């Protein structure tokens, strides 16, 4: 038939059958070995899985802690910047309102406070002087006016007698 044995269909069929037989036997051997070592292999796989899960969980927790710390830092920095911006805006607004009120001739809160303090001080001074001056002035005025009336009353009578 064919001069080359590797091209011979019958030889090729035998070769394929032999390879299929070897594959089948290898599969049976693997199955037998898996049955014998199956429990040990399964337990080893479970142990390796637990170790791997713990490592993954620890890594995830570390990454989560890092991310949380970074987010907290960013939030803190943003809050500081925002507060600073609001403070600047508030200061600008207050300055502009103060300038507008000054242009209108309206006194500032500090000026009003100083004015109130000065008024209280002056009221205390006036109250202190009137308490000390009023009792002294009233008796002197009463003492001077009483004798003066008597003297004045006596004089015209004396003049009338002299005139007659």
**Is 52 exposed, middle or buried (CB count within 10 Å of its CB: 0-12, 13-18, 19+)?**
exposed
**Pair of tokens at residue 110:** 């500090």
72 inside domain:
yes
How crowded is residue 101: how many other Cβ atoms within 10 Å of its Cβ?
13
pLDDT < 70 stretches in the chain: 1-7, 38, 132-164
**Pair of tokens at residue 33:** 């070995």
pLDDT in tens, 87-118: 888 888 888 888 888 888 888 888 889 999 99
Number of domains in the chain: 1
43 inside domain:
yes
pLDDT in tens, 65-74: 998 998 899 8
Whole domain around residue 6: which residue ranges? Answer: 1-106
């Amino acid at each position: 038939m064919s001069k080359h044995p590797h091209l011979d269909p019958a030889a090729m069929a035998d070769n394929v059958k032999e390879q299929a037989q070897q594959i089948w036997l290898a599969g049976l051997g693997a199955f037998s070995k898996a049955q014998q070592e199956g429990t040990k292999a399964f337990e080893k796989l479970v142990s390796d899985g637990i170790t791997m899960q713990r490592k993954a969980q620890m890594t995830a927790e570390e990454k989560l802690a890092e991310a949380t710390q970074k987010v907290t830092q960013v939030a803190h920095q943003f809050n500081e910047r925002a507060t600073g911006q609001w403070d600047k805006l508030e200061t600008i607004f207050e300055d502009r309102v103060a300038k507008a009120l000054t242009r209108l001739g309206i006194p500032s809160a500090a000026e009003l406070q100083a004015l109130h303090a000065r008024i209280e001080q002056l009221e205390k001074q006036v109250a202190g002087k009137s308490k000390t001056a009023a009792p002294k002035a009233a008796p002197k005025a009463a003492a001077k006016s009483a004798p003066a009336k008597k003297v004045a009353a006596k004089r015209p009578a004396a003049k009338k007698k002299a005139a007659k």
